[in-house]
Amino acid sequence: MDVTGKTKDNVKARLDLPKHCRRSELHIQESANNKLLKPKASYSFTMEQKRKICE
């Protein structure tokens, strides 16, 4: 559920994705100002969805 400090989905893992996986939508992307962006996975929850699950 994308809990800070609990997920193993970090920048190093995302940099390894092109070697092991064909999910190009999850690969690290470089922004216009040369910062690395880690896109959200399609299966991750929004904050509203997380709240509904935890009710």
Domain ranges of the chain: 11-54
Q: Are 47 and 2 in contact (CB under 8 A)?
A: no
CA distances, 29 to each of 5, 21, 45, 49 (Å): 22, 15, 21, 26
Mean pLDDT by 10 residues, the chain (55 residues): 70 78 80 84 87 91
How much is the pTM?
Answer: 0.46
Residue 48's pLDDT is what? 94
Helix H, strand E, coil C: the string for the chain is CCCCCCCCCCHHHHHHHHHHCCCHHHCCEECCCCCEECCCCCCCCCHHHHHHHHC
Residue 2's pLDDT is what? 64
Residue 16's pLDDT is what? 77
